[in-house]
Amino acid sequence: MKRYPLAGTPATSAQYVDVSRLLAAYADLAPDMTQAAQRVAFGTSGHRGVSFDRSFNEQHVAAISQAIVAYRTQQGIDGPLFIGFDSHALSLPAFETALEVLAANGVTTMIATGDEFTPTPAVSLAILNYNRGRTSGLADGIVVTPSHNPPDSGGFKYNAANGGPADSGITKWIETEANRLIEGDLAGVRRLPIAQARAASTTQSFDYLSMYVNDLASVIDFDVIRGAGVRMGVDPLGGAGVHYWSRIQEQYRIDLDVVSTVVDPTFSFMTLDWDEKIRMDPSSRFAMQRLIAMKDRYDVAFACDTDHDRHGIVAPSVGLLPSNHYLAVAIDYLYRNRPNWRADAAVGKTLVSSSMIDRVAARLGRRLHEVPVGFKYFVDGLYTGSLAFGGEESAGASFARFDGGCWTTDKDGISLALLSGEMTARMGKDPGALYQDLTTELGNPVSSRVDAPATPDQKKKLSKLSAAQVSSDQLAGEKIEAVLDRAPGDNEAIGGIKVIVPSGWFAARPSGTEDIYKIYAESFQGDAHLKQLLAEAQVIVDTALA
């Protein structure tokens, strides 16, 4: 990945978003529906955009909310809708727009007590807990978040009755209906003034924080953490879980230091990411300089992104663990230390996650379920229990309860962070040292990812790359074993390609959330082979984009 000169340095006023201007743009600017980039478009995790660019504005949110109401009516979903929002500047106004529409349409809407920020996994858990044992009157939800994206971003995600991100069929229907409503000047959108919406009988207060924290003991062994006296530090990064951590510490009496509770919509406390942007990505060594500085102060330290669905782990042995390293360690640890999990529960991974996970799964005797990028592809498996773990290379994962039952069907950064403390306590080694043990037994891969700007048209071309466009039978000096444009786990299109050789692979795909494309590569032969993989992959991508 290219590193810009200021990557990893503290953000300055030059990078701060002008919050007043941003909020004014949200309310005042309207999309030009002849421009593809300004239309409602659900990527791998909801609709995202920037108000300055007319891609995330009040009209988008009102139309999407009305489209969700229409979808609920069509599907007979008439239970409550659980809604939460994170600490991005655009999230509160977008939440209020949504509430105006939901209240006007008579939808029972569960909002956080005291307008508390709500992590993505808390919304998923609330839906699942409510629907457990029900066959009618089912609940669903909305999470207002652009995840780890920069401070000027907004995001809006629909979670279905299974608690997870809605699948492509649902989001395409909502997207189409929302765009139709905008093109009709919102004539079909019903709204109430926000004061009336908040006072409506259908708007009800819900304590997400207590529900989530009370239930955490069904997935994390706090007794072993407390008994071992593991010293942990957490940086909430001013995100949606900022007030959850102190409650976890108090309720479970663990040694957990919350290093900051500052909430700042400019996120001025961050260090700049690889491209000199402020981005709350807990897996980025550039963005996580503050967390990395905690390496020697704790037995393990961690952070979560703005909606707390992603995790970043810092261990004294290695510093910030690459997300693939931690996923491999977490899978190895969990399947060995959860005796009540189903014997046939598979390991879920995305196509661009490390092949170390394949080797770990094989050693465990567990089936590997490999899917395209997007957590929505794990939802059904986690919900039914056919998957006990589902994880993405971008540091998002969820895993089953101790009894093998479903925990969340959306990513949960909080539980994955706390798991690092549990495994440190039980194994007597931090996750970095545990990963080194894995490499001794299973090989030591090296990996890299290239991110480059891409226009919507270029992204579309790349997403249509097919196996037929790879004519060679050799890659980086090895015979090609497979060229995939569909995932082996579910036969879903991957929106790009993956090329596999005996000691490595590369994958190329457009981002579903940003105007960039990504080339991932991994080699078990070393850096020289990795560079060769990337170089030959780049030729294939350049040809596709020409």
Query: For the chain, how big is the Rg over CA atoms in Å?
Result: 22
Q: How many CA atoms lie within 13 A of 325 on its CB side?
A: 27
Catalytic residue among 147, 323, 355, 398: 147
- Going by C-alpha positions, the residue among 56, 105, 112 that lies closest to residue 82 is 112
CA distances from 381 to 190, 252, 413 (A): 36, 30, 19
Q: Is 65 a catalytic residue?
A: no
Kindly provide the residue ranges of all beta strands, DSSP E only, lying in 113-268, ordered along the sequence: 140-144, 153-159, 203-206, 232-235, 256-258
User: Per 3-state DSSP, what percentage of the chain is helix, strand, and coil (rounded to 5)?
Assistant: 40, 20, 40
Coil, helix or strand for 83? Answer: strand
Structure token pair of residue 299: 């037995």
CA distance 520 to 514: 16
CA distance 134 to 352: 36
CA distance 449 to 522: 9
CA distance 86 to 68: 20
282 backbone dihedrals φ, ψ, rounded to 5°: -70, -5
The residues that bridge with 156 in the sheet, in sequence order, are: 47
Residue 515, classified by CB atoms within 10 Å of its CB into exposed (0-12), middle (13-18) or buried (19+), is: middle
CA distance 275 to 471: 34
Residue entry with tokens 């891969």? 445
Coil, helix or strand for 122? Answer: helix
CB-based contacts of 172: which residues, under 8 Å, 6+ apart? 42
Which residues are identified as catalytic?
147
